[in-house]
Amino acid sequence: MIVKNRKIDDYFINDMLQIENLMNDYTNYILKIIRNFSINLSEEDTEEIILDVFLALWNNHDKLVRDCNMSAYIAGITKNLIKKKYKKLKNVENIEDYDEKLVSLDNIELEYSETEKNRAILEEINKMDKDDKEIFIAYYYDEKKIKEIAITFNFSEAKVKSKLFRIRKKLKKVLKERGYSYDR
């Protein structure tokens, strides 16, 4: 059973984090997050991530903002650990550079807000026509160069730049309407 609306404070008794209750309530939630990522992790890696989430909560229980939802913290920690594991499996040369970008417990609410913002962006991306969607994903998520994208789609570089500009402008408008800032 996933208890998404429980506050962090609900898992404390006399300033002690009730880790067993957390494990009972959120193990399946963490497993679901892991499975939603499209990478294939071994059973051992999956178990390691699950245990590391609870270990991170235990080790940082004094930093938790108690009136926040526990699920937001758990989701942020889980996603960071998945990314870290994925990068390790891919033998990334500069893992230290990547680690610096990971969200700390101190900024987990910001990450939750960013997750919601990204969800809004994803909704808009899914509404785009096929070419715009693929160009946007190629540029921002696959980190391809404009020249590469132009060759792939048989467009001029100017046309790719123009499409990206229009997409950004539309996303900026949609995000502003939803109350988010746009910083890309």
pLDDT by residue (tens digit) across 139-153?
A: 877 788 999 999 989
* Beta bridge partner(s), residue 69: 7
Read off the tokens for 22.
């957390």
Q: What is the pTM (predicted TM-score) of this model?
A: 0.49
Q: Please check whether residue 181 is in contact with residue 167, taking contact to mean a CB–CB distance below 8 angstroms.
A: no
Alpha helices in 18-156 (DSSP H): 19-36, 43-59, 70-89, 95-101, 108-127, 130-136, 146-153
Element (H, E) at 16: strand 16-17
Per-residue pLDDT at 90 exceeds 80: no
CA distance 184 to 182: 6
Name the nearest CA neighbour of 3 among 23, 104, 130. 23
Task: Supply the pLDDT for residue 103.
Answer: 46
Cβ count near 119 (within 10 Å) = 9
Instruction: Tell which wins on pLDDT, 64 or 25.
Output: 25
Bridging pattern class, strands 16-17 and 12-13: antiparallel
Mean pLDDT of 80-89: 80
Which H, E and C letters describe 53-82, residue by residue? Answer: HHHHHHHCHHHCCCCCEHHHHHHHHHHHHH
Instruction: Tell which wins on pLDDT, 166 or 71.
Output: 166
Per-residue pLDDT at 155 exceeds 90: yes
pLDDT band at 93; cut points 50, 70, 90: very low
Task: Supply the pLDDT for residue 111.
Answer: 55
pLDDT by residue (tens digit) across 98-124?
A: 444 444 444 555 555 566 667 777 788
- Give the CATH architecture of domain 8-104: Orthogonal Bundle (1.10)
- Domain extent listing, the chain: 8-104, 128-177
Mean pLDDT of 69-95: 75
